[in-house]
Amino acid sequence: MASSQTRRGGPRDLREHVAELERRGKLVRFDMPINKDTELMPLVRLQFRGLAEEERKAFLFEHVTDVHGRTFAMPVLVGALAGSRDIYCIGMRCEPGEVLERWSAAQQHPIPPRLVEGGPVHEVVLQGKELRGEGNGLDRIPIPISTPGFDCAPFTTMSHWVTKDPDSGRRNLGNYRGHLKARDRLGILVVPTSDFGVQWAKYRRQGRRMEAALILGCAPHISFTAAAKLPGFDEFAVAGGLAGEPVELVRCKTVDLEAPARAEIVVEGVISTEELEPEAPFGEFIGFMGERHLNPFFSVTCITHRRDAIYGAIISQFPPSESTKLRQMAFEPVLYRHLKVHANLPVTDVAFHESGGSWHYIVIQLKKSNPSQAMQALHTAVGFDPTIGKIFVAVDDNVDPHDADAVNWALCYCMQPHRDMLVVRGRTGYLDPSASPLGEKDIFPPPSGNSALLIDATRKWEYPPLSLPKREYMERARKLWEAAGLPRLKLKAPWYGENLGKWDAELEEDAERAVRGEYYETGEKLARQRRKME
């Protein structure tokens, strides 16, 4: 674990990360003028509907305009946190195979943040009149419309809220959108089951407004923890654990909170707990527009930012998106660790499928040492959070849990619906339009909420071998393939056969005889075993 305690030379802020993306060929600098409200997000969207994941890049828009012809000093950055798995790993400064372990080590060895006296985020401080009137306040920030044609306003998306529990003082850092309503006012969506929602309800019961600091743009490892599910942790400390050094925080100017010293922009303010306003619609990561509901709003008391701040946005909405990738990369390690450490299960991988919004389709890969472990893993997973997961599938360790086709193969040949499935009631259906047609009751429609499906798609007994040639023949074929100059292969597991228990010495001998060209001898043997039908 020593490696998590030493600084890895990771990016200290968003701009260092942008430089690294550019160095690695993962940044498009877009220097044609682009309208933030009608053109910018649709352009980036195209790569999520029309390119393979490994081709996707982060986009830096350097000439941002709006419909009125206004130009902005700040450039807009999109897709820089999780435009793809590769981009995420650049932010994490690790290889794709190391993400699970990196998260696990950070939770094992969190490093508390360090308070410092000042930082670049305070280079510009806007208060009072500077928050109102054209070009002032939030008008300075080129917040794009994510889903033109359906969204009712620009929304902040790389949008991390710092709040504190009024009783324990415990800090929370979470990523939630901000609905741009005025130059000094944002609407917010409070999910009651989130830490943010729980804190807000406490403030409300105490008759107090909730102070908040909205961080717009910071080092990727901080953003990664803001998008993760880390119950019981100070997210800044886990971010410290990821980086191997403490996050440096500065005190905010107008609220009793702290924010990263090297953030790009921080918006300080207070959230209503007595009055609500309609919020949204906003395009959701589930693939449908989120509905308009009454929700709190945030009144800005101060904006601070770096002199040459970059405004960062996350592209979410229809999956797959940056939002589903971000959640996938953060949720998988957390559930993996929960199953492995807290339930002592022989879990070898966990996959949150982006098709389900990295929320509702979850596959657990394990190497069972006991038949009950598949159902145990499914129960532990469904118990983790009342909103996360509608379909949970357990598979053996020779099935790639990230590949929908591989999982479907296991569903077809390792599972019987009447025997290996369980429907679980009493779930909360966060953002799930299939729950009910009533709108307001979607979260827990009577009489017993939403449901989830647990499927044990592991083998229940010994199976015949996989029907692929043995490894030695496939290796030999690979050499022939290359010698013949055939196109480059990108082999997908499994690509050679494997004994799964149901195979005996006689069959093994027959197979060996066959490749020696002595199959007629086997034919003669089988003729000697000929028998009359009963």
- Segment 437-466, which members bind a copy of itself (CB under 8 A)? 437, 450-453, 459-466
Count CB neighbours of 175 within 10 A: 25
Other beta carbons less than 10 A from residue 165's beta carbon:
14
The answer to whether the beta carbons of residues 179 and 155 sit under 8 Å apart is: yes
CB 11 → a copy of itself: shortest distance, Å?
25
Instruction: List all residues 6 or more positions away from 23 whose beta carbon is below 8 Å from its beta carbon.
Output: none
Per-residue contact string for residues 193-232; x = within reach of a copy of itself by CB under 8 A: -----------x----------------------------
Near a copy of itself in 241-270, by CB under 8 A: none
Three-state SS at 389: coil
357 lies in the binding site for a copy of itself (CB under 8 A):
yes
CB of 464 to a copy of itself, least distance (A): 4
Output the smallest distance, CB 422 to a copy of itself, in A.
9
User: Should residue 406 be labelled a site residue for a copy of itself when binding is judged by CB under 8 A?
Assistant: yes
- Residues in 479-508 at the binding interface with a copy of itself, rule: CB under 8 A: 480-481, 483-484, 486-487, 489-492, 494-495, 497, 500, 502-503, 507
Judge if the upstream peptide bond of residue 401 is cis by omega within 30 degrees of 0. no
Q: Is 375 in the site for a copy of itself (CB under 8 A)?
A: no
- Residue indicated by tokens 């599972």: 415
The span from the CA of 309 to the CA of 73, in Å, is 8
Least distance from a copy of itself to the Cβ atom of residue 156, Å: 13
Q: Is residue 476 part of the contact set for a copy of itself (CB under 8 A)? A: yes
Q: Which stretch binds a copy of itself (CB under 8 A): 218-226, 259-267, 292-300, 335-343?
A: 292-300
Binding residue (CB under 8 A) for a copy of itself from 116, 289, 343, 375: 289
Among 25, 32, 167, 169, binds a copy of itself (CB under 8 A): 32
Q: At closest approach, how far in Å is the CB of 495 from a copy of itself?
A: 4
Of the candidates 235, 332, 432, 442, which one interacts with a copy of itself according to CB under 8 A? 432
| Options 234, 284, 332, 385; binder of a copy of itself; rule CB under 8 A | 284
Q: Which of 129, 416, 446, 505 binds a copy of itself (CB under 8 A)?
A: 416
Sign of the dihedral through C-alpha 425, 429, 432, 437: positive
Residue reference for tokens 């389900």:
356
125 lies in the binding site for a copy of itself (CB under 8 A): no
Among 8, 42, 170, 349, binds a copy of itself (CB under 8 A): 42
Helix, strand, or coil (residue 34): strand
Q: Report yes or no: 127 and 10 within 8 Å, Cβ to Cβ.
A: no
Minimum gap (Å) between residue 483 Cβ and a copy of itself: 7
What's the CA gap between 23 and 9, in Å, rounded? 15
Q: How far apart are CA 82 and CA 165, in angstroms?
A: 29
Shortest Cβ 103–a copy of itself spacing (Å): 24
Closest CB 200 distance from a copy of itself, rounded Å:
11
DSSP 3-state of 411 = helix
Which positions from 136 to 175 touch a copy of itself by CB under 8 A, shown as an x/- string? ---------x-xxxxxxxx---------------------
Q: What are phi and psi of 56, to 5 degrees?
A: -70, 150
Which of 7, 129, 307, 418 lies at the binding interface for a copy of itself (CB under 8 A)?
Answer: 418
First-last CA distance in the chain: 67
To the nearest whole angstrom, how small is the minimum distance from the Cβ of residue 229 to a copy of itself?
18
The CA angle 359-360-361, to the nearest 5 degrees, is 110
19 touches a copy of itself by CB under 8 A:
no
CB of 173 to a copy of itself, least distance (A): 25
* Residues of this chain, 44-63, that bind a copy of itself according to CB under 8 A: 45-47, 49-51, 55
* Per-residue CA distances from 245 to 9, 11, 12, 240 (Å): 10, 12, 10, 5
Q: Which is nearer to a copy of itself, 233 or 285 (CB)?
A: 285
Touching a copy of itself, residues 320-349 (CB under 8 A): none
Nearer to a copy of itself, 119 or 319 (CB): 319
Nearest to a copy of itself of 327, 390 (CB atom): 390
Are the beta carbons of 179 and 187 closer than 8 angstroms?
Answer: yes
Closest CA to 142 of 276, 278, 312, 363: 312
Q: By rule CB under 8 A, what count of residues binds a copy of itself?
A: 151
Among 17, 26, 185, 306, interactor with a copy of itself by CB under 8 A: 185
- Say what the alpha-carbon torsion angle 125, 128, 134, 136 is, to the nearest 10 degrees: 10
Between 103 and 282, CB nearer to a copy of itself: 282
**CB 177, CB 124: distance < 8 Å:** no
How far apart are CB 478 and a copy of itself at their closest, in Å? 7
SS3 18: helix
Q: What HEC string does 321-373 produce?
A: CHHHHHHHHHHHHHHHHHHHHHCCCCEEEEEECHHHCCCCEEEEEECCCCCCH
In whole angstroms, give the CA distance from residue 158 to residue 202.
26
